[in-house]
Chain A
Amino acid sequence: MAAIARGEVEALERLYDRYGALVYSVSLRILHDHHLAEDVVQEVFHRLWRQPTSFDPARGRFISWMMSVTRNRALDELRRRNRRFRSEERDEDPEREVPGNDRFDNPEVGLVLVELRVVVRGALARLPAAQREVIELAYFGGLTQQEIAERTGDPLGTVKTRVRLGMRRLRLALAGYADVAPPAPDAPAGGDAQEMGRL
């Protein structure tokens, strides 16, 4: 980022090689439209180039900031589009994964990122399906808990509990990687252990 702040295009090039595919993948997962996802990638890197100081290392890690910017921008676009074209066909299957070695799987440019990605995907995969569903609807769909309840037909309280338990499990699994403390221990008998099994 310091090199970008000095105006070195090569630094932006390296950053794109490391994160470009990831930013695109997240945008596509949210928007289901490769043209819109490409627009988001352009905007995210445009912002990085024009406002490199908008990332403050004191407030967290670069990957977290980058993903937050990407998600917010993609969700803005999604809500903007949903308001107007609810019936528009989506042209991408976000679950269809490209196998093998794209740029952010290249050990030369992002070994840590690859490892982190494997850990996150593993943690998400190990969540009970109902918890994973609400978290993905919230994160990638930009839905509120109320909207998730309406979509899934579950009571709002159940959705809230699933969000809490799912996030707690993710925090337990990712605490070491996200450089945050694990959550406080579970509540005593009758608490989360039972709820986790049920929900």
Chain B
Amino acid sequence: MTPDEREALLAAYALGTLSEPDTRDAERLVRADASAAAEWRAYREIADLIALGAPQRLPDPSLRDRVLSAARRRGHPWRRTWRERYLPASGMAAALAVVTLWAVKLQSDVGHLQRQTRDLTAVVAQRDPATVRDVNSLGLQLESVRRDQQTLIAVQADPKVRKVVLEETPASHGAAGLYLWSEQANAGVASLHGLPQLPLGQQYKVWLEDRLSRLILDSTFLPDEQGNVQVVLEANRVVEPVRIYIVAGTADGKDGPVVLQGTIWRDDGTKVPH
């Protein structure tokens, strides 16, 4: 690599404009070479200043009040009570327990659907069209529940499963969640609680994005009346999710606010401590 090529790589890396393969090359260079790391940091400082070139615009004056009143309303993390302070840990334990209970429930659902399918199959011999439709529907349900169950077992069995407590956003309104991601199973499970109720006809969405913020996996779901739900996300190819977003849908099918979000891996590929 010539000095110009090296400078081009590091400057573009600092500017965040490299393709994924080039980004990996730059990451390797920065990790392996202290002078390259210094060069990259210098260019990153410059890149961050480019923001100041944005034309000056004023937000609505009410935004200031919204930001500050949200801070007052939510309190400060260091001023929270002992219960709030230890909530993430207990929340994690509770969410894991819910996921385990869900696995048990799925097992029960499989048994129940298997029995129903057996009973109806006996009736199908009489060639009643309605019964045939019921059997087909039950078969699909059974297949779906079995798939969820298998994915859940695979995720839980992974000793290296990543557990991410999802972060609140201004739109959380008390919602909380845990996300388990298994590289080995190439699948994850989100256990979400207290999601705000959406108007009829609207759904929540879950998105997984990679380090270039590209959507790699998504799904829609509806929580129960208490706002609780478990969602399985399984990829049919190897993916490297970096961020997860839980997003409220809107009446016109567009994306509403992000309700919960989490970082599974840092952009530089290192683990987020938890």
Please give the residue numbers on chain A whose beta carbons come within 8 Å of chain B beta carbons, in ascending order.
5-7, 9, 12-13, 16-17, 20-22, 24-26, 28-29, 34, 37-39, 41-43, 45-46, 49-51, 60-61, 63-65, 67-68, 70-71, 75-76, 79-81, 83-85, 94-98, 102-105, 113, 116-117, 120-121, 124, 135-136, 138-140, 142-146, 148, 160-161, 163-164, 167-168, 170-171, 174, 177-181, 183-184, 187, 191-192
CA distance A89 to B32 in the complex (A): 45
- Interface 9-mer from B46-54, B121-129, B186-194, B224-232: B46-54
A17 to B55, CA, bound (A): 18
Q: A16-B67, A167-B14, A180-B45 are in contact. Are A21 and B56 (CB under 8 A)?
A: yes
Which residues of chain B are within 8 angstroms of A22 by Cβ–Cβ distance?
51-52, 54
> Knowing A67-B51, A80-B213 touch, does A171 contact B63 (C-beta < 8 A)?
no
Q: Are A163 and B11 in contact (CB under 8 A)?
A: yes
Q: A120 touches which one: B11, B12, B52, B71 (CB < 8 A)?
A: B52
Any A CB within 8 A of the CB of B7:
yes
Q: Which residues of B contact A (CB under 8 A)?
A: 3-4, 7-8, 11-12, 14-19, 22, 41-60, 63-64, 66-68, 70-72, 74-79, 168-170, 207, 209, 212-215, 243, 245, 254-255, 257
Quote the shortest CB–CB distance from A97 to chain B (angstroms): 4
B174 to chain A, nearest CB (A): 15
15 A-B pairs in the complex with CB atoms less than 8 angstroms apart = A22-B51, A46-B170, A60-B44, A65-B48, A120-B52, A124-B50, A138-B15, A139-B17, A140-B54, A142-B16, A170-B50, A171-B46, A178-B46, A181-B42, A183-B7
Query: Which residue of chain B lies nearest to A137 when distances are taken between CB atoms in the complex?
Result: B17
Main secondary structure on A side of the interface with B: helix
How far is the CB of B32 from the nearest CB of chain A, in Å? 20
A121 to B54, CA, bound (A): 8
Residues on the A chain within 8 Å of B212, using CB: 79
Complexed CA–CA distance, A11 and B17 (Å):
35
A76 to B215, CA, bound (A): 10
Which of chain B's residues have a CB closer than 8 A to the CB of A181?
42
> Which residues of B sit under 8 angstroms from A105, Cβ to Cβ?
56
| Neighbouring A residues of B209 by C-beta, 8 Å | 76, 79-80
Q: Is the CB of B55 within 8 A of A41?
A: no
Q: How far is the CA of A5 from the CA of B67 in the complex (A)?
A: 17
The answer to whether A29 and B45 touch across the interface, beta carbons within 8 angstroms, is no
Q: Are B48 and A64 in contact (CB-based, < 8 A)?
A: yes
Could you tell me the distance between the alpha carbons of A61 and B75 in the complex, rounded to whole angstroms? 27
Known: A6-B78, A60-B45. A167 touches B70 (CB 8 A): no
Known: A21-B59, A76-B243, A80-B209. 5 other contacts (CB 8 A): A13-B68, A95-B55, A135-B50, A163-B17, A168-B7
| Docked CA distance A179–B45 (Å) | 8
> Which residue from B59, B75, B76, B213 sits with its C-beta under 8 Å from A20?
B59
Identify which of B14, B17, B51, B63 contacts A71 (C-beta below 8 A): B51
Most interface-central of B42, B54, B77, B207 (chain A CB within 10 A): B54
Q: In the bound complex, do residue B255 and residue A21 qualify as a contact, i.e. CB atoms below 8 Å apart? A: no
- Measured CB to CB, the nearest residue on chain B to A143 is B17
Task: Say whether A148 contacts B17, CB under 8 Å.
Answer: yes
Contact yes or no, B17 A121, CB < 8 A: no
Report the minimum CB–CB distance from B100 to chain A (whole Å). 29
Are B63 and A180 interface neighbours, CB within 8 A? no
List of A residues within 8 angstroms of B44 by Cβ = 60, 64
- A29, B60: Cα distance in complex, Å: 16
Distance of A61 Cα from B17 Cα, bound (Å):
22
Q: How many angstroms between the C-alpha atoms of A7 and B79 in the bound complex?
A: 7
